[in-house]
Amino acid sequence: MGERMNSFGGKTRRGVAIFACCLLPLFSSPTQAERIKDLASVQGVRNNQLVGYGLVVGLDGTGDQTTQTPFTTQSIINMLAQLGTTLPTTQSLQLKNVAAVMVTANLPPFARTGQQIDVTVSSMGNAKSLRGGTLVMTPLKGADGQIYAQAQGNLMVGGAGASAGGSKAVVNHLLAGRIVAGATVEREVPTSLGQGPHIHYELVSTDFGTTQRMVEVINREMGNGTAQAVDGRVVRVTAPEEPNARVAFMGRVENLEVRPMKTMAKVIVNPRTGSIVMNQMVTLDPCAVAHGSLSVVVSTEQQVSQPNALSGGQTVTTQQSEIEIKQGGGALMQVRAGANLSDVVKAINALGAAPQDLLSILQAMKAAGALKADLEII
């Protein structure tokens, strides 16, 4: 039977391209007011990443193959030694219900000792599934090498899978799971709310116009001279030094609404998935585009070779493959100018190109100066 590889110029992908572009918002709307807490964060108030190495036990024969993952065997021997059971280092363990995993978590600001946080558990060996497993107590360390939390608990894996007779079916991902409230904070990270009488708010993205509007709103609501712009991203706010009054003051400030400036025109391209997303500020100048599609077809046939009667030979199966490359001709098409997002989407859809072809076309439009937007490839 023949197998057909992905075609960059096939009709199937062409339909996907048009559908993906139609998902974009077609009408530009005025910028809506947003709360300061959605536009900026307080300097110094942030999460801290934690990581640890541990073992998941209780798997139903879907764990690591210890002969191919020696670190799993070493970890089991070390863990048993800490629990009072000594095994020779040369012992070859044949286990199928244990998997070596990496455990990650985010330590939120102002976390206190005894507080519980969620953890993510990911396989790092050749386990088939972590479903039904239990994470054994694992210390979680920060960037400074200190232990800040201890994780343990039953995994919750969202996927499912089964295999029999050489066939396999998998739904979602089986090699990563979460433990809700699976870690307990053992060490606190000191967090300060500003230095002296000042608090610094940092915008998510640098924008001089939005920064100025934020300063104006704070000064209008909290008193003239309360806020000052440090640069295009940081706003310095004078706040009470008494902790209770400072928290109340910050609660009022972060709920003030600011109408941000319109963002710069940008097109986000993901070549791995063929996704193209653009914001409402993108415009297009008239241009002409000619792009030929390329398709690769691989056909494989199974052939059986049988020996002559009484020859003593054996019947063998061979594969015969044929590879064909097709280059489609590209007609020169005129792309009309687009003053808003709706016009840009219509102009691009008129090309009838597949997603992978659109990536190249957009890059060429940007190089020619017809695409008035910043092209970002992720």
Block residue for tokens 């009408």: 27
Q: What residue spans of 65-137 are helical by DSSP H?
A: 70-82
User: pLDDT grade, residue 341 (50/70/90)?
Assistant: low
Position 2 confidence tier, pLDDT thresholds 50, 70, 90: very low
The pLDDT score that the predictor gives to residue 12 is: 38
Residue 15: which H helix or E strand, with range? helix 11-22
Angle at the Cα of 21 from the Cα atoms of 17 and 23, rounded to 5 degrees? 120
Q: At residue 378, does pLDDT exceed 90?
A: no
Output the furthest CA–CA distance in the chain (Å, rounded).
104
Q: Alpha-carbon distance 188 to 39, whole Å?
A: 27
Q: What is the pLDDT of residues 200-253, one digit of tens each?
A: 999 998 899 999 999 999 999 999 999 999 999 999 999 998 989 999 999 999
Buried b (16+ CB within 10 A) or exposed e, 225-252: ebbeeeeebbbbbbbeeeeeebeebbee
In whole angstroms, give the CA distance from residue 143 to residue 141: 7
Q: Please report which confidence band the pLDDT of residue 326 belongs to, taking 50, 70 and 90 as the band edges.
A: low
**Virtual torsion, Cα 201, 206, 207, 208, nearest 10 deg:** 70
What pTM was computed for the model? 0.69
Q: Beta strand 374-377 with 266-270: parallel, antiparallel or unpaired? A: parallel
Could you tell me where the beta strands, DSSP code E, fall in 66-207? Answer: 98-107, 116-123, 134-141, 147-154, 160-164, 167-171, 176-185, 198-203
Q: What is the pLDDT of residue 124?
A: 92
pLDDT tens per residue across span 16-39: 333 334 344 444 455 688 999 999
Q: Is residue 193 predicted with pLDDT exceeding 90?
A: no
Distances (CA, A) of 123 to 56, 78, 330: 9, 19, 47
* pLDDT (mean) for 255-271: 88
Instruction: Give the whole-angstrom CA distance, residue 333 versus residue 344.
Output: 15
- For residues 84 and 81, give the distance between their C-alpha atoms in angstroms, rounded to a whole number: 5
Pair 39, 235: CB distance under 8 Å: no
| pLDDT per residue as tens digits for the range 265-295 | 888 888 777 788 888 888 888 887 776 655 5
pLDDT at 90: 66
Mean pLDDT taken over the chain: 81
Q: What is the percent of the chain with per-residue pLDDT over 70, rounded to a whole number?
A: 76
Cβ neighbors of 84 (< 8 A, separation 6 or more) are none
Q: What is the pLDDT of residue 228?
A: 95
| Percentage above 90 pLDDT, the chain | 39
3-state secondary structure of 278: strand
**pLDDT at residue 13, rounded to an integer:** 41
Task: Please list, in sequence order, all residues whose beta carbon lies within 8 angstroms of the beta carbon of residue 271, skipping any fewer than 6 positions away.
Answer: 356, 359, 377
Q: Distance between CA atoms of 36 and 256, rounded to whole angstroms?
A: 6
